Every structure is written in structure tokens, then in C-alpha cells.
Chains A and B, each alone.
Chain A
Amino acid sequence: MATSIGSVPKVFTIPSVRDRYETVLARVGTIRNTYAIAPGIYAVGSPTSTSPVLVSANYKLSFDTLRFHLAGFSAWILVLDTRGINVWCAAGKQTFSTQEIVMSLERYRVEQLVDHQQIIVPQLAAVAVSAHEVKKRSGFTVIFGPVRASALQEFVANGNQADEAMRTVTFSMAERMVLVPVEFYLLSRQLLVILLVGVALSGIGPDAFSAAAMFDRGGIFVIITVAAVFSGALVVPLFLPWLPGRQFWIKGLFPGLLVGLWCLWGCDTVLSDFEKAAMALWSVAISSYLAMNFTGSTPFTSPSGVEYEMKRGLLVQCLCAAGALVLWLLSPFVI
């Protein structure tokens, strides 16, 4: 649409088929690192010089979440260059920042676009956006909007007032589940290497190397490893509030132990005692590690806490994995 600062792209508030398809790909992880839009000013609805200015990140998933919650609403959206990273993570990396806002307000001539000097910034960006600094350096007043874009219309209708719920982060079942696919995607390459190495090691025996042993033992190794990965990367996020322990590496022990118990009591016909113990330790190590890795996806783990638990968790995981390796390699020579 034509404005006082030139032509501004107008965006829809309803997702297209392509938007939906790309959202799935971004959630799975394939296009996640390149899913960005051009920074600048966008219009939603029919904004005027008195309409609110909403600030967003240039990760398309963030931008889409915002615009799809603005049906029937008129506003300007100022998209910062956050290198295609979402609001909270970009603030953590100091790209959704005071500096970036001050620069963007100037570069995109927001002062000429609207009559007021207020911008609505997502609350989670407060990690790197100092309202008083923005005011000092640009003259614009930062109003911290709600945590979630879904509450934005209500927030504005209430005269830019947020209730406690709007200001609080949550981590519901749905919010946890949406994070699972990308965990698997990011893991896939390392997992493939581990599986290949594990299968190759499974062939080592008294007669140097046996292809038959490689397939038999290697096959079981693959099944147990995949089960352990599901324990750590799916079961842990799913049952997070109910798994015992505060530390994530401890939470991860339990589903890994279940897989381990299955090895100990369910694999009599195919595994020796050494191998059963090896696979039990292995599944516990994998599940515990992946659970610990999930700390990065939650909105309540503090870096000090994660560092604290990693010093303990990594030690246990390494000991379990080393024990598993020794037992697995020794087994063919013992029997």
C-alpha cells in the first residue's frame, strides 16, 4: 500500500497453503535455518498514522504467528533483522536488541509513518531491549506487549494493559510436542554415525570379524538405540512435569531404564548377560543425555542450573556409555 514513506507491503492474516506447508518444514527442521523474511515495514489491515507499530523478528514462523493473530486488526509491523531467529532466542543472542530497534526505527523512517512515538515490543525481547535506552536514543516509548501474539488484540483493546496470564510463559503439552520433530532432525546425522559405528563394532569377535555377528548383534544395537532415542527425545518432553527429579539428566534416566529393563528381561533368546547389561547401560546413557539436551528448549531452565546438572549428568552418561562399550566388545570373547 502507498504511504508517506513510499510503498509498503501488505500482508494477509490468514495462512496460505504454502505458509502451512512451510510451517511444517520449519518445525521439522529442514528449512528452519533459512526461513527468514526481509526486514522492514509491513502493513496489516488498513493502518493509518495513528495505528500501533508492532515490532517483530524476521524468522518467518515468528512473523506468521503474529500476523495470523491480527485478523480484523490494523497495524504497522516493524520487522527487525534478527538473522532469521525467533524473538526470544534473538534477544538471547543480542540481535533483537536496543541497538537493532534504534537503527531500524531510523532506517525505515517510522517517525514519518506515524504521528505517535510508541512501539509495541514482545515482552520476551526485554532480555536485550532496554525500554529506557530506546527512549533515550530514539525518543520512542517501548511498550512491552504480551508474551504470546494471541493475546495482542486483547492487550491493545485494554489500553495496552496486560494481565498476569499474558505476561507469563507457559510450557503446555502442545508447546512441548511441537518441539519434538526438530530434536530428531538435529540428531539425525550424529545418530546415523553412531549407528554405523555401533553396527561395525558389533561384528568384532573371536574370529576377528564376523558379518553374521555384525548383522545379528548390530540389528539389536540399532533397535535398542532407536528406542533409547525415543525415550530421551519424545517420552521425556511428553511426560516432563511428571518424571521424578529436578535435573533433566535424572528425568531422562527413567524412560531409559524402562528400555534397559526390556533388554534385561525380554532379550533372553538373543543376548548374553554381558550384552543385556551393555544395552541397558547404553539406553540409560542415551536417554539421559537427550533429556539433558532438552533443557535448551524449555522456558524455565537457568544456565547456572544447566551447568550445575551437566557436571553431574555428563559424568554418569559417559560412565554408562563406556561401561556399555566395554561389555559389548567383551561379550563375544567371554562366551
Chain B
Amino acid sequence: MDTFRYIEGAVTLQLDQEACIGCGSCVVVCPHRILYLEQRKAYITNVDLCMECGACQANCPTEAITVDPGVGCAAYIIAKWVNRLLGREIVKGCC
């Protein structure tokens, strides 16, 4: 995936190393392989490669890793904006 780089500095991924217990679950599930374990603590290698899928957050037993997950899709975001204007809540997905 090195050929594909998206916008820098936009990603919401954060890791609280105090809370990390070094279980390694996040390292297993990350589809972009940007997490690794060293001396029972997780580290992020390149945060800009994160696509905010949320797999690491869902599999962290101590909520040490957080991200604002979602679908990176223009149609979805337009629907979200329209809903905010109209005060609706249901977003019909695109996939």
C-alpha cells in the first residue's frame, strides 16, 4: 500500500500508552500495518496511513487506542451534511 498515501494530518487515531497493556490485538487487526508492539507497549509507526476503520479501537480491551471511525465515502459525508441541515438522523449507506 506504499503507493497510496492520503492527506496528512487529518487522522484522529490516538494511543494512550499509559493505558496500553500490550496485548497486541490492535497490531493483529490493523489492515494498514501501522501498529507494532515493543516491550509490551503498542506504537504507531505512520499515523497518516491510518484509514480510521476503527478495528484497533473495537479490539482494545482497555480503550487505550481511540479513533473517530467511519466510512470514508463522499456520498456518505454529503448525506451526513444534508441530515445535519435537515435535522434527520438516518444515513442511508452507499455500499
Contacts and interface: CB of A to CB of B under 8 A. Distances in A.
B3 interface: yes
Contacts of A170: 1
Given A126-B55, A299-B51, A300-B49, A310 B33 contact: no
Given A132-B25, A296-B94, A127 B1 contact: no
A295 interface: yes
A146 B1 CA distance: 16
Nearest to A167: B33
A319 B30 CA distance: 39
B66 interface: no
Contacts of A124: 31, 53, 55
Contacts of A310: 74, 77-78
B58 A300 contact: no
A301 interface: yes
Interface of B is mostly: loop
A292 B74 contact: yes
Interface stretch (A47-55, A69-77, A86-94, A201-209): A86-94
A127 B11 contact: no
A304 B10 contact: yes
B3 A302 contact: no
A256 to B, nearest CB: 16
B7 interface: yes
A303 interface: yes
Contact of B72 (A123, A168, A241, A301): A301
Interface in B43-61: 49-55, 58-59, 61
Chain B interface size, under 10 / 10 to 19 / 20 to 34 / 35 or more:
35 or more
B3 A128 contact: no
A93 B70 CA distance: 9
Nearest to B33: A168
B95 A303 contact: no
B10 A126 contact: no
Given A167-B28, A302-B51, A247 B7 contact: yes
B50 A302 contact: yes
Interface in A282-315: 292-293, 295-310
9 contacts: A92-B53, A92-B71, A127-B54, A131-B25, A144-B29, A292-B74, A302-B50, A305-B7, A308-B7
Given A169-B32, A296-B76, 16 more contacts: A85-B93, A89-B95, A92-B70, A92-B93, A126-B55, A126-B58, A127-B58, A127-B69, A169-B1, A241-B3, A296-B73, A296-B74, A300-B49, A302-B50, A303-B68, A303-B69
